[in-house]
Structure 1
């Protein structure tokens, strides 16, 4: 299919919870677009909302592991909460320590309707939490501690792409 344009901070779709996908077969084009969009260098994951589609799906590309989840849900978080340096394609140019669990497990579905569970530590755990947050209308900026959030929004207002 194709690499899709990433929606930027301020676009209402980024703070709108996504709808569940009911007909998996009809999502094949979306899934391929997510995988294609995630395949570009420096992209650990892309949620459907980030490409302007309000449906519950994301693709990931973490340390050579490529895949996707439809209607994903976090099923387990462990390993403690720590600040992890994080960025977002929808908030380009900014990196801040978001509070994340070090181990995460998520479940969802594949296009053929089969259930799948993915788990990971470190970057994979972070990617699972980040992308599923997107599908709930939550940005990583919402996971920052209060003082860090103030710094992030100050830096955000200084970005050339940011429109008021």
Structure 2
């Protein structure tokens, strides 16, 4: 799942005319955090970028784990969150997914991306976890069931690096 997130982010930066969800995600993250999505978040911790295993390192890494789970839920429902295009705006530093999105998959993909963007915005960024080698990621991989209710209702949850389950 992280591999697709990385590819999607890179595709969004190389192909700015492509209006798929990956470009939407890159633009949304940058619009709400003010940070370059690729340089800042791809390769961060154990879940932001290629691969994903072990216990997330900090709040930012938990954001990525939750996003991976959110997208997995959409794949399980038959959606294509890496390709689905959606409309959104940022109003007063708040992301609003448009009611004009054509399908429920588009809308739910927007909600997943909104959640990770706003989650990033709320978390402290630790340079120590930038370009982190995931060979150092240890511990049990948290199960996505910790994020129940369904993806559209997943909220960013601050998790301490030693906690295996969100509060």
Higher helix share: 2
Higher RCO (CA < 8 A, seq sep 6+): 2
Common fold: TM-score over 0.5: no
In the superposition, the TM-score normalised over structure 2's length comes to 0.24
Higher strand share: 1
In the superposition, the TM-score normalised over structure 1's length comes to 0.25
